[in-house]
């Protein structure tokens, strides 16, 4: 139900305007499923709790909070629209870069893994190549959680799909920048 409701809000306002207006109070309706799938991801893909993590399009901190509960302590969030909601729930500030800012190369820190939950499928297709190319400069691993198979990430952008699975209708994909990893 909530998934349909948000989709209708996207149609009514557009994705950007929806988050501009309602981002400070945003909550992902799939939070419980995200917690479950992140636990599976940590186990299956051998993520270590001392990894430095970028929670890209961090929402109100669903991934950050789930990872904290699994022992992760070094997590940075980025979201231009939900930074207030993220701070309210996690107690830490999120950077407010947009996907366009990131595609232009604004990020410099290196992360062991980037996790992007329920967001990349909303990115304008024309922005994806530049965004993906920039992300490969700051991490060797990218995990995408999505309600469907999109987005399609081309190997030409520097990312190789290593593994994927579906749990409770959430698609989890692990990409790396190296064939040997």
* 3 part of a folded domain: no
Q: What is the pLDDT along the chain (181 residues), one digit of tens a residue?
A: 444 455 555 566 555 565 555 544 555 556 688 999 999 999 999 999 999 999 999 999 999 999 999 999 999 999 988 898 999 999 999 999 998 999 999 999 999 999 999 877 566 777 789 999 999 999 999 999 998 887 889 999 999 999 999 998 899 999 999 755 5
CA distance 56 to 39: 18
Query: What's the confidence (pLDDT) of residue 97?
Result: 95
What would the DSSP string read from start to end of 113-176? Answer: EEEEES-GGGS-GGGHHHHHHHHTTTBSEEEEEESSSPPP--GGGT-EEEEEEEETTEEEEEEE
* 31 part of a folded domain: yes
Give the domain extent around 115. 24-176
Of residues 65, 161, 46, 172, the one with CA closest to residue 112: 46
* 102 part of a folded domain: yes
Query: What's the confidence (pLDDT) of residue 181?
Result: 54
* 6 part of a folded domain: no
* 147 part of a folded domain: yes
* 15 part of a folded domain: no
pTM confidence score: 0.84
CA distance 76 to 163: 24
CATH code assigned at 152:
3.40.50.150
Query: What's the confidence (pLDDT) of residue 2?
Result: 47
Domains in the chain: how many in total? Answer: 1
* 5 part of a folded domain: no
Residues β-bridged to residue 144: 116, 173
* 107 part of a folded domain: yes
Query: What's the confidence (pLDDT) of residue 39?
Result: 98
């Amino acid at each position: 139900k909530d998934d349909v409701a948000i989709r209708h809000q996207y149609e009514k306002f557009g994705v950007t305007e929806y988050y501009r207006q309602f981002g400070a109070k945003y909550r992902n309706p799939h939070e419980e499923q995200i917690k479950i799938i992140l636990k599976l991801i940590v186990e299956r893909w051998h993520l270590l709790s001392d990894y430095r993590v970028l929670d890209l399009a961090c929402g109100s901190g669903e991934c950050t909070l789930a990872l904290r509960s699994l022992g992760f302590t070094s997590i940075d969030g980025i979201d231009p629209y939900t930074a207030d909601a993220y701070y309210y729930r996690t107690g830490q500030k999120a950077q407010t870069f947009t996907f366009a800012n990131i595609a232009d190369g604004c990020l410099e820190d290196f992360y062991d893994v980037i996790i992007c939950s329920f967001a990349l499928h909303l990115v304008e297709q024309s922005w994806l190549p530049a965004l993906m190319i920039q992300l490969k400069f700051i991490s060797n691993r990218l995990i995408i959680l999505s309600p469907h198979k999109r987005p399609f990430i081309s190997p030409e952008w520097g990312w190789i799909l290593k593994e994927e699975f579906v749990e409770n209708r959430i698609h989890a994909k692990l990409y790396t920048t190296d064939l040997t990893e």
